[in-house]
Amino acid sequence: MEAIVVGAGIGGLAATLSLRRAGCEVTLVERAPRFTEIGTGIQLAPDATRVLRRLGLLDAVAAQATRPSHVEFRTWSDGRAICRYVLGDEVEREFGAPYLQVHRADLHRVLTAAVPPRSVRLDTCVVGIDQDDGSARVTTAAGERLRADLVVAADGVRSAARRWLFGTDEAVFSKTAAYRALLPAGEVADLGLPEYGVWLGPGRHFVHYRVRRGELLNVVAVFTTEEAQESWTARANRGSSCASSPAGTPACSMFWSVRAGCTATASTHVCRWRGGTSGG
């Protein structure tokens, strides 16, 4: 059986590898001209790491990731502990696979390396999908028509393929956005942050955890906003004004530093992400 997978994100790469394992001949089509290091941290719960194990890639991903022993929820204003959940061995015992935190680029790189280059077509934007009783077809921006027995649309949360096939299905803006940043972990070691922390405040929360073998601290500062801008890569304005004044916890000061771009080093970008969901 021949398949075309549209989109070489995490989903498209995983689908390609799974289809190949099932004996399909797969062409993976991606509009980006090359794979670059984009994104920040991603959390992989056992349902995801179990799939990576099945694909034979769990060890390679785990070697780049961190495996938190617990998560601590604290109050934003005074740092009081709200609750604590054990992860680490306990999650692995209960769900049969680990809970990992990884840089999206590291996960993407491991998945990409497992797909034979001859199966990947970069710089190929899909502009249409159609089918008849015998086959499915993909039309590219260059006017090519690719044919297969099966087309898998893995073109992300703003999927055009979903719109072509099933009509309009607009995501609803939750009125939350997030500032995301990666900081060298050594530069903020003096803050004494928990290994994996979630700081809860009115209309905002702050999540941090380590990625890239613990070398980078991934921070996600989620807040409510009316301003809708959908992007994984938009840059935050440095020194943007604050809606209210910070309290005295390390998370608060870091939230504000991240927001103002002050914590950013030369190699650090602060990104603004508007999401349909809030999280980290």
Binding site for ligand FAD (CB under 6 A): 6-12, 29-32, 38-42, 104, 125-126, 154-157, 160, 232-233
Instruction: Please tell me the distance from the alpha carbon of residue 135 to that of residue 171, in angstroms, as a whole number.
Output: 30
Closest residue to ligand FAD using C-beta atoms? 9
Instruction: Please tell me the distance from the alpha carbon of residue 194 to that of residue 206, in angstroms, as a whole number.
Output: 12
What single string gives the DSSP state of each residue in 150-201? EEEE---TT-HHHHHHH---PPPP-SEEEEEEEEEGGGGGGG---SSEEEEE
Q: Find the helix or strand (DSSP H, E) in which 129 lies.
A: strand 126-131
Q: Which is nearer to ligand FAD, 8 or 221 (CB)?
A: 8
**Of the residues 99, 179, 196, 209, which is catalytic?**
209
Q: Which is nearer to ligand FAD, 160 or 188 (CB)?
A: 160
Instruction: Please tell me the distance from the alpha carbon of residue 47 to that of residue 137, in angstroms, as a whole number.
Output: 32
Q: How far is the CB of 81 from ligand FAD (least distance, A)?
A: 26
Residues 6+ apart with CB under 8 A from 190: none
Q: How far is the CB of 158 from ligand FAD (least distance, A)?
A: 7
Residues 6+ apart with CB under 8 A from 179: 219, 220, 221, 223, 236, 258, 259, 270, 271, 272, 273
Q: Which is nearer to ligand FAD, 153 or 249 (CB)?
A: 153
Is residue 209 annotated as part of the catalytic site, yes or no? Answer: yes
Q: Can you tell me which residue has the tokens 């809708």?
A: 228
Q: How far is the CB of 219 from ligand FAD (least distance, A)?
A: 11
Q: Which is nearer to ligand FAD, 184 or 279 (CB)?
A: 279
Q: How far is the CB of 78 from ligand FAD (least distance, A)?
A: 29
**Which residues are the active-site residues?**
209
